[in-house]
Structure 1
């Protein structure tokens, strides 16, 4: 998995204690890193401060409770660390642009409407394409009941019997113009259930469609059942590039939930994960008489 041990341990601790009082100043000693290192690495890799991450995760869980339970807004706010309904409402509006009561009413109405739609319409996910060896036996749809941040995640899974030779990917592409000459980091959060193997991927192509850079996490595949975690791919976008494609690949059976894609430029000091090795030709021929 391509994220630092610092970030991995911090996220795991936060997720395990999300409904408890997490004191950020105590995290360095609990995680085992200096405060400066912890705060710098976490913000660099996730794009959020630790406080922002905790706040977004708690609001995500609160929003789920608003949809799935009849608990009062005050009770939900108290569960997620707020002393009053007013404080909870202010924090909720900062992220969702709606007060909790209105969010509950609107989202429940939308969910009812979605259940009434046809399967074909419900499974269309804007901008994303489902592809692979056997896309007809896989399904990709939105899942409002499981997410890392925001309101819903994407869910990719085998809807029929699958084996290790089957695979599917959700993907999209965009022009590389604004990223040429840069080292680009794509990151996302993934959660899995009984997957054979899966991973995020990114590819950089030139104008003739040749692959210049590629990584599909083949050397660090996700297997089995895992909770939400952070993954990234880092590639150089060369000057002769034309397009960048990315997505998530699922081999065989299981389910993978996908959320929070981000792209950011990183320093050339950050190691690339490109798995396409360029082997230059030797300066001269050798072993011409087969004696070596």
Structure 2
């Protein structure tokens, strides 16, 4: 059974309740599963427990508030349901290697907390492509983050229109994954996406023929959405040469990505491949165009 829809539903609920007390039973109830079953599938799907996910999301939001607001540390701690400033400090330091007050002071002093850093030609590993890449920009954002210190973003500029698209992408050799089924997963949020946005992945052979492909156009992200987890699953045939992947934005708006990962999965995980197999017919048909 594919649990992705149930996990997305649960994460959406979590995102809207991060500043509230959340019980394990409440989270499970959103999915419709028993508490034990829900927490098992959440751990297996996301890679961490639901409780750990909530803790990391609260800390990421707290880190952003430390840089972009003048809220007192104790108020931030209580807002995100930490029992005391000391408990918040211990948890924050474990993830960010600095206590909250020092983190705020150092980042402010170094001017490293710019909301967005445009890095169209300097973002390590990533490049921009598409129909009109000059009408879009990519970069890192230290305010809109899912976990850690930054996320990547792809945004339209004033020159873009709904007939254009761009992608922030990478390419790498398929050697490691040949003969396997792989899953690309990551966290995405969107703002004012007028057409659609989503993850995408493509597997090519040495002649650059497309062997497998999915761009989430059959499950698009539109409008403004909160952080959630999405995935693509493709087979990598033995004669594969390259794997390309990234985030796609068609039309105007903005999309943020964070926490991308690759892993091999077994045949029980259904593929999301959108390429139709081209099968030869037994004989020609409809030659008079009457059918």
TM-score (norm 2): 0.90
Match of 2:219 in 1: 220
The 3-state SS of whatever aligns with 1:25 is: helix
Q: Are 1:273 and 2:272 matched, yes or no?
A: yes
Match of 2:144 in 1: 146
Q: How many residues align?
A: 288
Q: Deviation of residue 47 (structure 1)? A: 2.0
Note the 1:64-103 alignment, pairs <5 A: 64-103=64-103
Partners of 1:156 and 1:256 within 8 A in 2: yes
* Residue 84 to residue 44, structure 1, CA distance change in 2 (3 Å): same
1:162-189 C-alpha deviation (Å, 9 max, x unpaired): 2222111000012222222221111111
Q: Are 1:158 and 2:139 matched, yes or no?
A: no
1:104-155 C-alpha deviation (Å, 9 max, x unpaired): 122223435869x9x8768732211011111111111111111111122222
The 3-state SS of whatever aligns with 2:53 is: helix
The 3-state SS of whatever aligns with 1:220 is: coil
Cα distance between partner residues in 2 of 1:109 and 1:144: 15
The 3-state SS of whatever aligns with 2:139 is: strand
TM-score (norm 1): 0.89
Match of 1:128 in 2: 126
Match of 1:176 in 2: 174
* Residue 217 to residue 107, structure 1, CA distance change in 2 (3 Å): same
Cα distance between partner residues in 1 of 2:13 and 2:114: 35
Partners of 1:122 and 1:141 within 8 A in 2: yes
Partners of 1:3 and 1:231 within 8 A in 2: no
1:233-273 C-alpha deviation (Å, 9 max, x unpaired): 10011221122110011111111112121111222111100
* Residue 256 to residue 121, structure 1, CA distance change in 2 (3 Å): closer
Partners of 1:123 and 1:141 within 8 A in 2: no
Partners of 2:62 and 2:80 within 8 A in 1: yes
Match of 1:252 in 2: 251
